[in-house]
Structure 1
Amino acid sequence: MGIFTISLDFELHWGGFEKWQLDKYKQYFFNTRKVIPQMLSLFEKHEVHVTWAGVGMLFHSNYESLYRAIPSKTPTYQNQNLSAYNYINKQGIGKDEHEDPFHYGASLVKIILDTRHQELASHTFAHYYCNEAGQTLEEFRADLRAAQQSAALYGKKLRSLVFPRNQFNEDYLRACYEEGFVAVRDNPRDWFWNIQSTQNESVLKRLNRGADAYIPIGKKNTYTLNSVEVRTGLPLCLPASRLLRPYRPSEYFLNAIKINRIKKELERAAKRNEVYHLWWHPHNFGSYPEQSINGLREILNHYNFCKDRYKMESLTMEETADRIYQVHGKN
């Protein structure tokens, strides 16, 4: 049967601290905090299993707790503006979630964990950029350990990981596995999803990623379980299929086109017994939350149709990885 996987990059301001001036984005993130429970309510209603890949710093409720988790090795980026620690030292963050709801998210993590079928996963501890110049493998490993330490506050062991900014780094996979991760999200198999840096990325790549949401530019984006390679000592790499882009009033009829495209791809996966892996950032819904939620509701209603007609099922990244191991005869 087909599988519908959703993974979310749960970041709040940590997702763009180096480029987003917080004073201009506070309402955006207040909206995000309000819309996350709405998403969870929809997921529970439709029995949809979702992976929440959270920045580990968000798992904390106050600065004292966060500070205790900071690893001894932090990223030595050539551009230190990319470092969350540099941001903390220069800009500062509040003492707790009540004072600073943009950099702490413990209350949201608890809501996620209290909702059925939701997986708490990792987006690294400090929104770590794996392809930026200057940082090292050992610094990345230290970051992963800090993320696991943060999840332990909730009695959880993180098993799935999403690389920030989709900076997928093949060389870092062994460290992921050794630190407890069995699944990582891979990028779509298209040249315009090969992201090497947050700096000076080509306009052509960004334009193609945007256009592919509406017209077929990329390759086929659904896949079978047995097509995912199992490699000893490495996590499974689960390719993403599609980024759910948020509602934009300027796009008029294009909003309906991108939702319909997702529905068609989802149904194709259901018919062919393949995996369809949808992803987005919860903060993407921050500008037009009601309209974006309506688009998500339409997708989940279509999943219900696919579940009824084609016996499609919803699985988290962790559950999808477990199913792949079963297919390959491995535990």
Structure 2
Amino acid sequence: MNNNGSFVISLDFELLWGVFDKVDWREKKEYFQNTRKVIPEILKLFEKYEISCTWAIVGMLFNESWDEWNQNIPATLPEYENNKLSAYSYGSSIQSKETEELCFAPDLIRQIKETPGQEIGTHSYSHYYCLEPGQTLESFRADLLQSKEMAEKMGVNLRSLVFPRNQFNKNYLNACEDFGLQTVRTNPDIWYWRNTQKESLQQKIFRTGDAYLGKNNKSYNDIPELIPGITGQKASRLLRPSGGKIFLDKKRLQRIRSEMSKAAKNKEIYHLWWHPHNFGGNPAKNLKDLELILRHFKTCKNKFGFESLNMENISKKRG
């Protein structure tokens, strides 16, 4: 077994489904159009630098149209106490030709599938919130089943899960194992990443500040088995998008490269994640920043044997 350090990337691919309860789609149309354009560019960079990645995809994106979406509503739906969180209520209210490009992306999923080293995982079918009042294990199982069926139609067997909004629920891991999932991303082991359902302003401030300052302690050594058949992979760092401030952007990228170097030297795992739509506000600058990170990976690979693995690969190797 190669015991060198490992660089893991996971992307939460959601389009509008990830933020529909927070934004007006009319004001974000260009933002998500940019997101659609940037994904092929990310794939080109991954291919250029031989990067493996797990794309945790909201299952609703597999649909071709609203007609198909209406046909694929599970029999059991989450009954959130806050109905504004329901993707089904929201989707039923915005159906038009104009919104389809914001909610469906089978063409992009096929591009991901055809690119070497890319794993298609799941971000649940409906961007399901596993800690919100009103949802149940029964509706979560129905959601996973729908994700599994949609992926299988495209020839994909789901093996990795990322919980939407990082609402990790250990009580649901047995259901994950029942549907063939083998590994899940978990939150950083830091106080301001806990309880993401009811996070405080202080947590948000510390999470933002952590992107620029603090100790380099984000890499780790093990992929623990959370329950028999399911391993957990701690996220190391959220790649925040460019904020337009030269000094802060420089500090943000320096921090990531420093953490990558530490992981490579110490033969540890460094797990970077973000949402593709995070690049939608300033695509050119964010792609440039990503290439700087990938160039640094290549340096670490040549110097220390650092390797790029997706979630499924590293779970099998180090679990």
* Shared fold, TM over 0.5: yes
Task: Say whether the 8 Å CA contact 2:15–2:32 is kept in structure 1.
Answer: yes
Is it true that 1:291 corresponds to 2:285 in the alignment?
yes
**Alpha carbons of structure 1 residues 131 and 234: separation in structure 2 relative to 1, 3 Å:** farther
SS at match of 1:18: coil
Is it true that 1:155 corresponds to 2:152 in the alignment?
no
Which amino acid letter does the alignment assign opposite residue 169 of structure 2?
Answer: N
SS at match of 1:102: helix
- Could you say which residue in structure 2 is the equivalent of 1:271? 265
Is it true that 1:93 corresponds to 2:91 in the alignment?
no
Deviations 1:150-172 (A, max 9, x none): 10121111100000111111111
SS at match of 2:259: helix
Q: Following TM superposition, by how much is the alpha carbon of 1:231 offset from its aligned partner in structure 2, in angstroms?
A: 4.6
Deviations 1:73-126 (A, max 9, x none): 11010001100001022x22235xx86200011111011111111001100000
Pairwise CA RMSD of aligned residues? 1.4
- Could you say which residue in structure 2 is the equivalent of 1:304? 298
Task: Say whether the 8 Å CA contact 2:165–2:196 is kept in structure 1.
Answer: no
Is it true that 1:184 corresponds to 2:184 in the alignment?
yes
Task: Name the stretch that deviates more: 64-73 or 112-121.
Answer: 64-73
Q: Following TM superposition, by how much is the alpha carbon of 1:277 offset from its aligned partner in structure 2, in angstroms?
A: 0.2
CA distance in structure 2 between the aligned counterparts of 1:292 and 1:161, rounded to whole angstroms: 25
Task: Say whether the 8 Å CA contact 1:69–1:149 is kept in structure 2.
Answer: no
1:230-245 to 2 correspondences below 5 Å: 230-245=225-240
Moved over 6 A (4+): none
CA distance in structure 2 between the aligned counterparts of 1:185 and 1:39, rounded to whole angstroms: 21
**Alpha carbons of structure 1 residues 196 and 255: separation in structure 2 relative to 1, 3 Å:** closer
CA distance in structure 2 between the aligned counterparts of 1:202 and 1:188, rounded to whole angstroms: 17
Which amino acid letter does the alignment assign opposite residue 208 of structure 2?
Answer: G
CA distance in structure 2 between the aligned counterparts of 1:262 and 1:315, rounded to whole angstroms: 17
Q: Following TM superposition, by how much is the alpha carbon of 1:201 offset from its aligned partner in structure 2, in angstroms?
A: 2.9
**Alpha carbons of structure 1 residues 136 and 33: separation in structure 2 relative to 1, 3 Å:** same
Task: Say whether the 8 Å CA contact 2:217–2:259 is kept in structure 1.
Answer: no
Structure 1: where are the runs of 5+ without partners? 326-331
CA distance in structure 2 between the aligned counterparts of 1:129 and 1:166, rounded to whole angstroms: 9
Which amino acid letter does the alignment assign opposite residue 92 of structure 1?
Answer: I
Task: Say whether the 8 Å CA contact 2:66–2:100 is kept in structure 1.
Answer: no
- Could you say which residue in structure 1 is the equivalent of 2:206? 208
Task: Say whether the 8 Å CA contact 1:173–1:234 is kept in structure 2.
Answer: no
- Could you say which residue in structure 1 is the equivalent of 2:9? 6
Which amino acid letter does the alignment assign opposite residue 194 of structure 1?
Answer: R
SS at match of 2:203: helix
Task: Say whether the 8 Å CA contact 1:53–1:120 is kept in structure 2.
Answer: yes
CA distance in structure 1 between the aligned counterparts of 2:18 and 2:286, rounded to whole angstroms: 19
CA distance in structure 1 between the aligned counterparts of 2:193 and 2:99, rounded to whole angstroms: 37
Query: Would you say how many aligned residue pairs link Structure 1 and Structure 2?
Result: 316
Task: Say whether the 8 Å CA contact 1:178–1:233 is kept in structure 2.
Answer: no
> Percent of aligned positions with the same letter in both sequences?
44
Which amino acid letter does the alignment assign opposite residue 235 of structure 1?
Answer: I
Deviations 1:152-201 (A, max 9, x none): 1211111000001111111111111111110100000011101342xx63
- Could you say which residue in structure 2 is the equivalent of 1:258? 252
Is it true that 1:246 corresponds to 2:244 in the alignment?
no
SS at match of 1:6: strand
**Alpha carbons of structure 1 residues 232 and 22: separation in structure 2 relative to 1, 3 Å:** closer
Q: TM-score under structure 1 normalisation?
A: 0.92
Which amino acid letter does the alignment assign opposite residue 219 of structure 2?
Answer: T
Task: Name the stretch that deviates more: 314-323 or 173-182.
Answer: 173-182
SS at match of 2:128: coil
